[in-house]
Amino acid sequence: MRAVLRTLSRCPVCGCAEVRTDEVIDRGLWFLAECPRCEHRWTSRAPIAPGAAPYQAGGVERAREAASAA
């Protein structure tokens, strides 16, 4: 069974904790985020939640992997 990794970040507009994230390579690495509650979208050159350990179901921590926003 594959572990579920989640980014620990909140929407800067409404504070929702269910932010969807993705990484894109286009003339460098870009981090994309979207809030499912208020639909606010933003980009960043730095990781969306710098230094935050991802949440993993089952309580075992693993190395951070890129998550799809789709």
**pTM value surpassing 0.85:** no
Q: Give the model confidence (pLDDT) of 35-61 as tens digits.
A: 999 999 999 888 765 444 444 444 444
| CA 18 – CA 58 distance, rounded (Å) | 18
Tokens of 8: 């620990």
Residue 57, domain member (yes or no): no
Total domains, the chain: 1
Considering the domain boundaries, does residue 60 fall inside one? no
Nearest-Å Rg of the Cα atoms of the chain is 12
43: containing domain: 9-52
Q: Using one digit for the tens of pLDDT, what is the confidence trace for 1-24?
A: 555 555 568 899 999 989 998 999
